[in-house]
């Protein structure tokens, strides 16, 4: 059987989540990196695989799976160990709850901060960025409290919730560390000062098997 292929763009949080899942499960795969600067994800060949020209996409044994959560669910069903979506109904519910809360309350707001800061435009729309940071800090406060009671995002074991949240939080902290953040006073960077439990959880994530392989190539 051939190895699964993963189409990805470096630094894309959803792609990073899938790569972490592949690494944690010990699945050897062929990385197929697309260059966003060249809009390779919109090439006619790739649009045959992903009609919206988006990543991540996993191709495994003749099956093409789009959408991060669909890919994670597929991997969990196809490659059982370690389970990413829990082993009891309560665990499964808690994991999905954390994922849904991240997607509903954190992911887009983090984008409102990271996009302008990565482009060096944070000061131009300072009010929008600081408003978004306030919303993000409220979410991080909830996560910080959760991590004061449990080691991982949805309980005592690593799960898909950790793999989904980690790249989003990394995108945020990397953006917040950019020059100019001090002037904006976002209250996010350094994470160790503002959210020590989240920072400690990041350190644990860094110890995962294959962590370095999944790290965005252009951030290295
Ligand atoms: N809901 C999709 C979102 C995927 C998505 O937004 N991918 C972005 C990268 S983070 C993308 O493909 N951007 C390139 C583009 O749209 O041209 C998923 O979770 O897979």
- Flag whether pLDDT at 24 surpasses 80: yes
pLDDT category, 29, cuts 50, 70, 90? very high
Domains 5-78 and 89-209 share a fold: no
Fold for the domain defined by 5-78? Glutaredoxin (3.40.30)
Q: Which two tokens stand for residue 169?
A: 């939080």
**What's the pLDDT score for residue 87?**
97
Task: Looking at the CA of residue 42, tell me the nearest atom of ligand 1.
Answer: 17
Q: Which residue has the tokens 């949080």?
A: 13
* 10 CA distance to ligand 1 middle (Å): 12
Q: Which residue has the tokens 């984008």?
A: 111
Contact (CB, 8 A) for 25 and 82: yes
**What's the pLDDT score for residue 183?**
78
- Flag whether pLDDT at 209 surpasses 80: yes
- The dihedral through the CA atoms of 72, 77, 81, 85 has a sign that is positive
DSSP 8-state symbol, 63: E
Task: Looking at the CA of residue 12, tell me the nearest atom of ligand 1.
Answer: 10
Fold for the domain defined by 89-209? Glutathione S-transferase Yfyf (Class Pi); Chain A, domain 2 (1.20.1050)
Judged by DSSP in three states, 152 sits in: strand
Comparing 48-52, 166-170, 182-186, the range with the smallest average pLDDT is: 182-186
- Give yes or no for residue 106 CB within 6 A of ligand 1: no
Q: Which residues of 190-219 are buried (b: 16+ CB within 10 A; e: fewer)?
A: ebeebbebbbebbeebeebebeeebbbeee
Provide φ and ψ at 20, rounded to 5°.
-60, -40
Radius of gyration for the chain, computed over Cα atoms and rounded to the nearest angstrom: 17
Judged by DSSP in three states, 31 sits in: strand
Contact (CB, 8 A) for 86 and 162: no
- Give yes or no for residue 173 CB within 6 A of ligand 1: no
Q: Give pLDDT tens digits for 67-100.
A: 999 999 999 999 999 999 999 999 999 999 999 9
* 55 CA distance to ligand 1 middle (Å): 5
Q: Where are the domains of the chain?
A: 5-78, 89-209
Residues 6+ apart with CB under 8 A from 73: 85
Question: What's the N-to-C CA distance of the chain in angstroms?
Answer: 32
pTM value? Answer: 0.97
- Flag whether pLDDT at 179 surpasses 80: no
pLDDT category, 43, cuts 50, 70, 90? very high
**What's the pLDDT score for residue 37?**
96
pLDDT category, 178, cuts 50, 70, 90? confident
- Flag whether pLDDT at 1 surpasses 80: no
DSSP E strands: which ranges in the chain?
5-8, 30-33, 57-60, 63-66
**What's the pLDDT score for residue 27?**
98
d(CA 143, CA 90): 19
Nearest CA to ligand 1 atom 15: 54
Mean pLDDT, residues 194-209:
98
Q: Give pLDDT tens digits for 6-16.
A: 999 999 999 99
- Give yes or no for residue 111 CB within 6 A of ligand 1: no
* 56 CA distance to ligand 1 middle (Å): 7
Mutating to test ligand 1, I would choose from 36, 53, 54, 167 the residue with most ligand atoms within 8 A of its C-beta, which is 54
Among the listed residues 28, 25, 39, 24, the one whose alpha carbon sits nearest the alpha carbon of residue 6: 28
Task: Looking at the CA of residue 56, tell me the nearest atom of ligand 1.
Answer: 20
Task: Looking at the CA of residue 52, tell me the nearest atom of ligand 1.
Answer: 16
Task: Looking at the CA of residue 13, tell me the nearest atom of ligand 1.
Answer: 10
């Amino acid at each position: 059987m051939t190895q699964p292929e993963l189409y990805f763009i470096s630094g894309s949080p959803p792609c990073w989540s899938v790569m972490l899942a592949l690494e944690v499960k010990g699945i050897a795969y062929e990385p197929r990196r697309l260059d966003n600067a060249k809009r390779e994800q919109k090439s006619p060949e790739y649009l045959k695989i992903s009609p919206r020209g988006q990543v991540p996409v996993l191709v495994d044994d003749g099956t093409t799976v789009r959408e991060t959560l669909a890919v994670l669910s597929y991997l969990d069903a196809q490659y059982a160990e370690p389970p990413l979506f829990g082993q009891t109904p309560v665990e499964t519910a808690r994991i999905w709850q954390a994922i849904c809360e991240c997607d509903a309350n954190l992911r887009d707001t983090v984008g409102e901060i990271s996009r302008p800061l990565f482009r060096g435009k944070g000061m131009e729309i300072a009010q929008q960025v600081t408003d978004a940071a306030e919303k993000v800090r409220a979410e991080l406060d909830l996560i910080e409290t959760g991590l004061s009671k449990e080691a991982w995002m949805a309980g005592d074991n690593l799960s898909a919730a950790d793999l989904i949240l980690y790249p989003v939080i990394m995108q945020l902290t990397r953006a917040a560390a950019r020059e100019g953040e001090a002037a904006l006073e976002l209250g996010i960077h350094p994470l160790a000062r503002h959210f020590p439990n989240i920072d400690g959880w990041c350190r644990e994530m860094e110890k995962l098997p294959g962590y370095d392989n999944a790290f965005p190539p252009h951030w290295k």
